[in-house]
Amino acid sequence: MTISKELLFRSCSQFDVTVSDECADRLDTYARLLIDYNEKVNLTAITQPDEIVRKHFTDSLLLLRYVTLHKGTRFADIGTGGGFPGAVLLCAVPEMDAVLVDSINKKLDFVRFLLHELGLKAEVLTARAEELGRKGEYRETFDVVTARAVAQLNQLSEYCMPLVKVGGVFAPMKGKLEEDEQQRGFGAIANLGGKVEKNISLTPDGAQRHIVIAKKISQTPTKYPRNQAQISKKPL
């Protein structure tokens, strides 16, 4: 099994994202390992190579259009699951200082195996984001925090914003973002010390995608993040 690199280059260039040959080779291996591993552990419903290229790889790499990642960028992907978008972005920018987080360890076993096979380095952490946000070694230390398809924007913001350093960026990736969710989410971002700078709607491959770029302009009040029960019972 190999992915169509031609399709990868073409679908990314639609969004002005350039993919190197090395990155394409890594993603080829990624797709093969994902399909094999997915037989044992359910990581994704998307298992056709072209679909993986469009719906996982291109969709993840899209972030590079809006966020600069380079050597030493301290980056976190919250709720990475099978590595989306974090491990894909690491294939493009292997020198970044990445932390890939999920609360489900068996998904991260795949991510650890994948990174080992690709010779890539990242901290792979089984944890809930809101727990990391209360730990000094993670709180307000990240240049960029992203999360794809993890939670409603207001709850997701409470998971992620405490991790972003002042001057850094929170870049959630969603499918549809309804007006109501958007309003509550933007309110939460403001309460947590952020300012929405870009609110991007895209339709890669006909599917509705939404990326928000919020800059952290002041420290998150120390009462946040609250615990999971409070976050879901009384969302911001």
Q: Which residues bind ligand SAM (CB under 6 A)?
A: 78-82, 84, 101-104, 107, 128-130, 148-151, 159
CB of 221 to ligand SAM, least distance (A): 19
Q: Given the complex with ligand SAM, which of 72 and 122 has the nearer CB atom?
A: 122
- Calculate Rg over the CA atoms of the chain: 17
CB of 57 to ligand SAM, least distance (A): 12
What is the H or E stretch that residue 16 is in?
none
CB of 140 to ligand SAM, least distance (A): 17
Q: Map tokens 């409603």 to a residue.
A: 152
CB of 205 to ligand SAM, least distance (A): 15
Q: Given the complex with ligand SAM, which of 67 and 101 has the nearer CB atom?
A: 101
Q: Given the complex with ligand SAM, which of 44 and 182 has the nearer CB atom?
A: 44
Q: Given the complex with ligand SAM, which of 149 and 190 has the nearer CB atom?
A: 149
What tokens were used for 37? Answer: 């591993």
> What is the DSSP code (8-state) at residue 162?
G
Q: What is the DSSP track for 50-117?
A: HHIIIIIIIHHHGGGGTS---TT-EEEEET-TTTTTHHHHHHH-TTSEEEEEES-HHHHHHHHHHHHH
Task: Provide φ and ψ at 121, rounded to 5°.
Answer: -115, 135
Q: Given the complex with ligand SAM, which of 28 and 130 has the nearer CB atom?
A: 130
Q: How open is the CA angle 170-124-118, to the nearest 5 degrees?
A: 105
CB of 56 to ligand SAM, least distance (A): 7
